[in-house]
Structure 1
Amino acid sequence: MEQQKLRELLETLHQELGQLGTVDEKTGEVLATLKEDISKLVEGGDEAAAEESLTERMNDAVDHFEEEHPRLSMMIQHVLDSLARMGL
């Protein structure tokens, strides 16, 4: 059940990332990395999610988007919470 919920959160987050308009260079880099990470999680499941650096990158993204894109930041945090509940 938790796996399905995570997949749904990741798909929603991926859609939100795709809807962002013009962004600065740093935000573009963060977005590209997040999209790649999300694709790996959706396709690879637990194995891709187990990387510690993935959690770090997602935490960095939460911090980066917190001020200008609070909804996106909140969604990323939900994904991180789901990963933590799954022990990843």
Structure 2
Amino acid sequence: MPANHLQQQLEELHKQLAQNPPENEEDRESLVLLARDIELQLAAQPVTTPDASLIDGVNLAVERFEVSHPTLAGSLRNIMQSLANMGI
């Protein structure tokens, strides 16, 4: 069930990126890569060892977009919480 919830959150993130992307190409690319990494981790279920770099990446993205894209940052926070709930 948590994996389904995370998948829905990732779909929401993709929608937000399509509707209101960051102005900077580097920021857009980093979010696309982060989403891809999360999807790869999700596909690798069950997780044998938590990926701290993935959580760190999501956390850094939240901090980066907190002011400029608060809705996007909120979605990233939800994704981070789902990952934590799944033990990732």
TM-score, normalising length: structure 1: 0.77
Q: What residue is the counterpart of 2:19 in the other structure?
A: 19
Q: How many residues align?
A: 87
Task: Judge conservation of contact 2:66–2:73 (CA < 8 Å) in 1.
Answer: yes
Structure 2 stretches lacking a partner, 5+ long? none
- 1:29-55 CA distances to partner (integer Å, 9 max, x unpaired)? 4324323324424544454x9321111
Distance 1:45 1:15, change over 3 A: farther
State the percentage of identical aligned residues: 33
Task: Judge conservation of contact 2:21–2:28 (CA < 8 Å) in 1.
Answer: no
| Higher helix proportion (structure 1 or 2) | 1
**Moved runs in structure 1, 4+ residues, more than 4 A?**
none
CA RMSD after TM alignment:
2.3
Distance 1:31 1:57, change over 3 A: same
Task: Judge conservation of contact 1:14–1:38 (CA < 8 Å) in 2.
Answer: no
Structure 1 stretches lacking a partner, 5+ long? none
Shift of 1:60: 0.5
